[in-house]
Structure 1
């Protein structure tokens, strides 16, 4: 192999870093990892999925191990001019939360290149899986299914990193019963904002454990998570029910999530609602034969509310699953001729969004701006929200181009010791406007988002943002409410120089 070939230098670099990591090099200080300043690396780390915010870092770090990452963070923290630091997985944020202007972006996927890294490892007794934070949830699913096991709480889209969703909350139609993903973690490894490498759990370094779960990356970087497992179902009954009346739609959703004991085998496993506003809002679940009459219903009603429910089954419960569903659906207020059902594998259901993604990619409609708006809306305000936002702003402006989700969750499935902040009512809804726009008109959707906020403010509906940063520290203090003092104290404890995750604009307002 020629000494000037790219492969040669790659091998030398990896061997040198491995020797330093193992403590075998006498000159480890000379081999200390430095951020890359390559223009290609800088450009790739300057934007996120939203394609709205552009913010270039000074450099991009490609750590080989959590220890190497900790060494860099510690050195940076102790320097006379420390730089801000942001962890980046798939950068599926929409307003620059994974960016670090003039700082350092950590490429988390480089941790996966270490053959001795965490990877994805199911425990011998099958009770949990240890996962590197850089791993994707789709890969966690594939590995655990080989053992007939799976985590119980998911996001709708599985091509996200474990560390990324645990830094936010991780929600979907399973949340009403099993809680968000942050409520389903046994243990974490974290590199704090001062460079300490810490293993934490509810019983060990618990302040850090609860801080980083839903902590928006403010206290350090998750590098490993221990996730509980349960037996995976063999298949699922997947049903969509359509409504023309929002009161009946929300009443039925709240009724269905009231049966939420984790061990109750007769309860549903997934409840999620959405709005159908045009033919474009129909997803592949609905067959071509059914779509014309659904479009006709939308035309007559203006808005059609779609309730999506799932019931798992295994070999033992398969003979009774239809009867169980019949009982659960009895008395619901959906339109009687608009019940649609599929029987699919567990994997097919969980990975359902992938097919839509690949279709959008094929049409060039994936890598476009995403002026999303995600809110938590208290139950007390959801009827007014429907009248003022869905029927008022959304229907009248008629610009919605992506999924519009609306479904309830139970507050008692969230752990108040964690950083994530939700409305102070026993039931609250998540509302997601998952817009896709052109590069020349995303501001139009931003204007609608602002109108939604203004309506909530004038109507006295105390909503909370999810997956989006507020503009000022004062707005963040209102968001966290009674948790704000604890949030600030933890920041002082684990990141006293305010270096971690500047793109959230909590302590590093631009």
Structure 2
């Protein structure tokens, strides 16, 4: 059972490559790290401009600030390797951190007195991998600097898509693969790190290595979820499947936590990866006394039903929301409702508290983006974003509900940030 708990704003901290190499007490000014660095062919791509330094000193979390000596804006993986090799062979190595879209929470994409590599810089050049779809449509070769939203758009042009996502798509491929990449598809397909055929990696010695489950497998499994400690991902081969066109999106409400988790576990027990009639997404969340039952992440509940939902929350203080999605296309649209009804048969949600929406596949996957843009337009985005992900064993999840959700969150009135609760099969 995975529990995601945020105060006061949302986003999982699944991101960004951490320090690639160990720090050896570098605290001198940039000019003293090694003047020889400025003689390399990448010197023109290094910046010590105050605005560049300031940007590289911040991340999504806005909790810590770490100031680098310089920022590298590479145009190719070779530029990154040149920097790493120089540090590795230098008499006094310095630290390096690769930064994608900066969605780390506690500074994992930053580095003190070293060099931050702005991975997204390679998107502006044609020397990176980019996004290349195989002729047979079985996979896409994707640069580590690419955003998942761009991967989605590129693959949809061929009627294809990856199967495992994060809730937020404006993250880099290398960033989420260096962490995990978890969302409501994980119960069925596993996290994003379980959906990779092979990768190109630059190691801490500046070697270029291709790795897979059968080739350089130790490196492959170390880099996936390795927080950037074992190399920088420059290319990932991602499996693709035919993309649906639309989704049926359902939310059901519960006032009993054990019934809620029991239904979640029942659903994931009978929805396998290769089952064509299975659910495609399953998450859960807590609704607490915070005004509207909708939040900035998505507007879901019909406005006319808000009063009865709010009344329910007021009565019970916390309501548990089970959220599921079923994909469909032109071939399955006539049978989808019947299949979904069969999948949800026997669930014990509160009568009269099932809500449904029918939306485009892209709209569902990109559901968080509109809320982000709205908050940015209101000047409410650049605030601290603490976030915590926990894996709780099934045997302890009820105690966690009593001790944390009720004993801490409710008693201390910490109700401004989303709390997500959803089951994951251990084998995934």
TM-score by length of 1: 0.74
Which residue in 1 is equivalent to 2:32?
none
Per-residue Cα deviation, 1:381-430 (whole angstroms, up to 9, x for no partner): 100000111111001111231211010100111xxxxxxxxxxxxxxxxx
* Partner Cα separation in structure 1 for residue 40 and residue 82 of structure 2: 13
Question: Mapping of 1:350-429 within 5 angstroms?
Answer: 350-413=365-428
The secondary structure found in structure 1 opposite 2:423 is strand
Which residue in 1 is equivalent to 2:22?
none
Which residue in 2 is equivalent to 1:43?
54
Assess if the C-alpha contact under 8 Å between 1:84 and 1:104 holds in 2: yes
* Partner Cα separation in structure 2 for residue 85 and residue 280 of structure 1: 44
1:198 corresponds to which of 191, 200, 209? 209
Assess if the C-alpha contact under 8 Å between 2:196 and 2:236 holds in 1: yes
The secondary structure found in structure 2 opposite 1:412 is coil
Which residue in 1 is equivalent to 2:294?
282
* Root mean square deviation of aligned Cα: 1.3
1:127 corresponds to which of 113, 121, 138? 138
1:302 corresponds to which of 317, 340, 351? 317
Q: Does residue 1:218 correspond to 2:218, yes or no?
A: no
The secondary structure found in structure 2 opposite 1:289 is helix
The secondary structure found in structure 1 opposite 2:309 is helix
Shift of 1:280: 4.5
* Partner Cα separation in structure 2 for residue 62 and residue 351 of structure 1: 28
The secondary structure found in structure 2 opposite 1:31 is coil
Q: Does residue 1:332 correspond to 2:332, yes or no?
A: no
Q: Does residue 1:262 correspond to 2:273, yes or no?
A: yes
Which residue in 1 is equivalent to 2:11?
none
* Partner Cα separation in structure 2 for residue 55 and residue 281 of structure 1: 37
Question: Mapping of 1:90-489 within 5 angstroms?
Answer: 90-278=101-289, 279-283=291-295, 284-413=299-428
Assess if the C-alpha contact under 8 Å between 1:188 and 1:226 holds in 2: yes
The secondary structure found in structure 1 opposite 2:86 is helix
The secondary structure found in structure 2 opposite 1:106 is strand
* Partner Cα separation in structure 2 for residue 197 and residue 30 of structure 1: 19
The secondary structure found in structure 2 opposite 1:216 is coil
Shift of 1:100: 0.4
Assess if the C-alpha contact under 8 Å between 2:253 and 2:322 holds in 1: yes
Shift of 1:256: 0.4
Shift of 1:281: 5.0
Which residue in 1 is equivalent to 2:20?
none
The secondary structure found in structure 1 opposite 2:282 is strand
Shift of 1:363: 2.2
Which residue in 2 is equivalent to 1:87?
98
TM-score by length of 2: 0.88
* Unaligned runs of at least 5 residues, structure 2: 1-37
Q: Does residue 1:75 correspond to 2:86, yes or no?
A: yes
The secondary structure found in structure 1 opposite 2:327 is strand
The secondary structure found in structure 1 opposite 2:364 is helix
The secondary structure found in structure 2 opposite 1:411 is coil
* Partner Cα separation in structure 2 for residue 165 and residue 346 of structure 1: 21
1:54 corresponds to which of 49, 65, 69? 65
The secondary structure found in structure 1 opposite 2:183 is coil
Shift of 1:143: 0.5
Shift of 1:72: 1.4
* Unaligned runs of at least 5 residues, structure 1: 1-27, 414-510
Assess if the C-alpha contact under 8 Å between 2:293 and 2:310 holds in 1: no
* Partner Cα separation in structure 2 for residue 262 and residue 172 of structure 1: 15
